[in-house]
Structure 1
Amino acid sequence: MDRLAGKTAVVTGGGSGIGLASAKRFIDEGAFVYIFGRRQELLDTALQTLGDNARAVRGSVSDLADLDRLYETVRAERGGVDIVLANAGTGSFAPLGAITPEQYEQTFDINVKGVIFTVQKALPLMKAGGSIILTGSTTGEMGTPQFSVYSATKAAVRNLARSWAQDLRGTGIRVNVLSPGPTRTDLALDVVGAEAFEELGASTPLGRLGNPSETAGAAAFLASDDSSYMTGSELFVDGGLAQI
């Protein structure tokens, strides 16, 4: 397929998991992709998988200077960007009563501040037809024990898309949320634990965990003109977990 032929994409958190799978799918559909992440070893390994149509830039979405450097690289090498997948995220468990300021600040810095400035700093490089995709989560829709801070960040992401769809009126740029359910990534397995995560997957109507490639397919749909009449929307890839 070549739905993204000639397009330039930026994927934050692109060194592993859903970000890496989405970068690969974008490239398979014709895009050139910049992956952005904090860990150089993950980026280097990812580039071996992605091949010549990918470029890695190291940095954190919570560091505005790092984002400036990312987009200056994109501007200098490609002239602009057509697709932004604001995917970088983090989270940890803490029940009410055990939440620390450090946990709150880290989670909101990456999951909310990082999303806001990943998108805002991309806008001068985008034009009509551009697609912004924010990675949400089923936790933004559901009450999740011990995971309230992370869940609150994803609820915030959902409203950012609704509000930005209004802000972007007349620009031809779309913004949507892609919300995975329990998906087999290293981060999720580390945070939740393998056994508990498998049980969560088994509780979905489809009875299993998702694969990053399945979420990547939905990301490619939102990135392409196949979703040209969608903005402000949320697309769930969750095995039905948050739908029943």
Structure 2
Amino acid sequence: MIEAQGDQLDAVFTNTGICEKNPLGEPQECTYYKVFDVNVKGVFFTVQTLLPLMKDRSSVVGLSLYNASKAAVRSFARTWANELKGRKIRANVLSPGFTRTPLMDNGLKMSETEIDALRQYVEQVTPLGYMAQPEEIASSALFLASADAKYVNGVELMVDGGLSQI
């Protein structure tokens, strides 16, 4: 529809990610493929597919932090920052801290008791003292995609209440 109307994209926000319980020594190969297919392959092919529709000087923002699979996403952003320099397309990654999302209920299958215990833990260890809401992460993604971040490229923005800094 975008292409048919002759429009182009100002930004691509690859908010792709799943997470499932998989303690070391227990993961199944099918879980590995499922997580990497969605978290890595999904991001890669989304950007590749939409790249022809992106305006020069536009922005790619990836949401990350599901461990090893998201390390690949961080690598994509750094590589794309260089590879897309001719078109002045910026590529950045947003790495949220503890955020109360349906992922806790659906992917991680946490009970309300487990979520409450996690919330209490986060309140103690995070410098800002609370668990984020999705809107707080979304506003950072909007910043990275905006013209206000026009000189921000190839970075990983930690939006974690300061936890990664201590």
What TM-score results when the alignment is normalised by the length of structure 1?
0.62
DSSP 3-state at the match of 1:184: coil
Let me know the Cα RMSD of the aligned residues: 1.5
Q: Report the 3-state secondary structure (helix = DSSP H, G, I; strand = E; otherwise coil) of the residue aligned with 1:106.
A: helix
Larger RCO: 1 or 2 (CA < 8 Å, sep 6+)? 2
Gap change, CA 1:177 and 1:186, over 3 Å in 2: same
CA contact (8 A) 1:201 1:210 kept: no
Cα separation, partners in 2 of 1:217 and 1:113, compared to 1, 3 Å: same
Q: Contact 1:136–1:157 (CA<8 Å) still a contact in 2? A: yes
Stretches of 4+ aligned residues off by more than 6 angstroms: none
Which ranges in structure 2 are unaligned for 5 or more consecutive residues? none
Q: Residue 94 of structure 2 contacts residue 156 of structure 2 at CA under 8 Å; is this kept in 1? A: yes
Deviation readout 1:69-114 (Å, 9 max, x if unpaired): xxxx332246221110001210112122111011001000000000
Structure-2 separation of matches of 1:164 and 1:129: 13
Residue deviations 1:12-38, cap 9 Å, x none? xxxxxxxxxxxxxxxxxxxxxxxxxxx
Q: Aligned in 2, Cα 1:210/1:189: closer, same or farther, shift over 3 Å?
A: farther
Counterpart selection for 1:240 from 157, 162, 165? 162
Aligned to 2:7: 79
- Aligned identity (percent) is 47
Change (3 A) 1:213 1:92: same
Is residue 135 of structure 1 aligned with residue 63 of structure 2?
A: yes
Does 2:151 align with 1:229? Answer: yes
Q: Which amino acid aligns with 2:158?
A: F
Name the CA distance, whole Å, in 2 between partners of 1:105 and 1:152: 12
Would the alpha carbon gap of residues 155 and 120 (structure 1) be closer, same or farther in structure 2, given more than 3 Å must change?
Answer: same
TM-score (norm: length of structure 2) = 0.90
Rounded Cα–Cα distance in structure 1 between residues aligned with 2:28 and 2:60: 32
Say how many residue pairs are matched. Answer: 160
Q: State whether structure 2 residue 114 is matched by structure 1 residue 198.
A: no
Within 5 A, what are the aligned runs for 1:1-244?
Answer: 73-77=1-5, 79-137=7-65, 150-190=66-106, 191=108, 192=110, 193-202=114-123, 203-244=125-166
Distance 1:84 1:188 in 2: 25
